[in-house]
């Protein structure tokens, strides 16, 4: 099917969201650390995203740290009723900007309260538990202990829905035996398709799949195929990569990030981009 044939919304938890959302990570400084270069421009991007119909924003209090959540609050509070803010916990930042696992009950609880305070919310709509057993890629290992902490915070009314990030299929299965999982956020794109079976399984179960790094890790051959299709349909490689993801499965939610209003509009236009069948075949190829 073409991108325009795809459903434009998906039920995340019990909320209907546009499948093309916005990721706030790039609003922080270089390396996702420190304040943005242009504070007013960051606020403008957030406001324009919502004005353009975006109603799901992906963030975390360890972006900055604290930077993106405070920008979101400044730009958008009081929040529109239909806006769903998805955050994540499971890491903290070192003084040098390093990314460190933070799985203890105290660290996870503090992360939830930090997200609540910096976003100005009484309850977090969706919290993804980011697994960092190996920061470079998903790695097997039980996630029961940290997930049980998050599930308890959910029972306390601080979290409405729970998701996972950087996980293996076995960890998804383990998690679903512990609590209800509404989304999985993993590295997936044209060049990295290891999660194909997982995406299809989650689609059957009505669980959202949120790919990150839509242009990450491409070989020269794959980049060439993407660029050729982009030139043919008069679009950017990023737009084509997003359009391919959009048509891959109806449960895929996209969260491309940018600090530019112009780039934001380019990303949002990907949901309407038609990909001819032979172009899709070229992209699907090895």
pLDDT digits (tens, 9 = 90+) for 230-265: 999 999 999 999 999 999 999 999 999 999 999 999
Q: Is 128 among the domain residues? A: yes
Q: The domain spanning residue 204 has which CATH number?
A: 3.20.20.100
Q: Alpha carbon 10 to chain centroid distance?
A: 14
Question: Does residue 158 register a pLDDT over 90?
Answer: yes
Pair 24, 43: CB distance under 8 Å: no
Question: Does residue 218 register a pLDDT over 90?
Answer: no
Count helices and strands (H / E) in the chain: 10, 11
Q: Is 130 among the domain residues? A: yes
Once rounded to an integer, what is the mean pLDDT over residues 72-78? Answer: 98
Pair 126, 87: CB distance under 8 Å: yes
Structure confidence at residue 6 (pLDDT)? 80
User: What's the token pair of residue 78?
Assistant: 């009081």
Q: Is 227 among the domain residues? A: no
Q: Is 63 among the domain residues? A: yes
Q: Is 223 among the domain residues? A: no
User: What's the token pair of residue 169?
Assistant: 């299929």
Question: Does residue 44 register a pLDDT over 60?
Answer: yes
Once rounded to an integer, what is the mean pLDDT over residues 206-234? Answer: 88
Question: Does residue 286 register a pLDDT over 90?
Answer: no
Q: Which residues are catalytic?
A: 63
User: What's the token pair of residue 241?
Assistant: 């990569």
On the 0-12 / 13-18 / 19+ scale of CB atoms within 10 A, 117 is middle
Per-residue model confidence as pLDDT tens digits over 107-153: 999 999 999 999 999 999 999 999 987 766 788 999 999 999 999 99
Q: Is 202 among the domain residues? A: yes
Q: Alpha carbon 151 to chain centroid distance?
A: 20
Q: Is 239 among the domain residues? A: no
pLDDT bin (cut points 50, 70, 90) of residue 3 is low
Question: Does residue 1 register a pLDDT over 50?
Answer: no
Q: Is 86 among the domain residues? A: yes
Once rounded to an integer, what is the mean pLDDT over residues 88-96? Answer: 96
User: What's the token pair of residue 13?
Assistant: 């938890």
Range of the domain at 24: 9-218+252-258
Structure confidence at residue 284 (pLDDT)? 87
Pair 150, 243: CB distance under 8 Å: no
Number of domains in the chain: 1
Question: Does residue 82 register a pLDDT over 90?
Answer: yes
């Amino acid at each position: 099917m073409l991108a325009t044939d795809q459903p434009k919304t998906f039920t995340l938890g019990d909320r209907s969201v546009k499948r093309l959302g916005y990721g706030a990570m790039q609003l922080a400084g270089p390396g996702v650390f420190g304040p943005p270069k242009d504070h007013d421009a960051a606020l403008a991007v957030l406001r324009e995203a919502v004005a353009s119909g975006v109603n799901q924003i992906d963030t975390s209090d360890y972006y900055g740290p604290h930077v993106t959540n405070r920008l979101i609050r400044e730009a958008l509070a009081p929040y529109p009723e239909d806006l769903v803010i998805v955050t994540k916990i499971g890491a903290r930042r070192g003084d040098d900007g390093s990314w460190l696992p933070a799985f203890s009950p105290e660290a996870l609880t503090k992360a939830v309260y930090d997200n609540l305070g910096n976003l100005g919310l009484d309850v977090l709509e969706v919290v993804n538990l980011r697994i960092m057993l190996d920061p470079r890629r998903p790695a097997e290992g039980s996630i029961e202990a940290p997930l049980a902490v998050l599930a308890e915070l959910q029972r306390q009314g601080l979290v409405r829905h729970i998701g996972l990030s950087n996980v293996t299929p076995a960890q998804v299965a383990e998690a679903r035996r512990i609590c209800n999982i509404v989304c999985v956020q993993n590295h997936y794109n044209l060049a990295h398709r290891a999660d194909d079976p997982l995406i299809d399984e989650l689609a059957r179960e009505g669980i959202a799949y949120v790919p990150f790094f839509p242009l990450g890790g491409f070989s020269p051959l794959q980049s060439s195929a993407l660029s050729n299709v982009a030139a043919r349909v008069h679009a950017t490689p990023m737009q084509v990569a997003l359009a391919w993801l959009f048509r891959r499965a109806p449960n895929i939610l996209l969260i491309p990030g940018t600090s530019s209003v112009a780039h934001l509009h380019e990303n949002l236009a990907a949901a309407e981009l038609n990909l001819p069948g032979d172009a899709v075949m070229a992209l699907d190829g090895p």
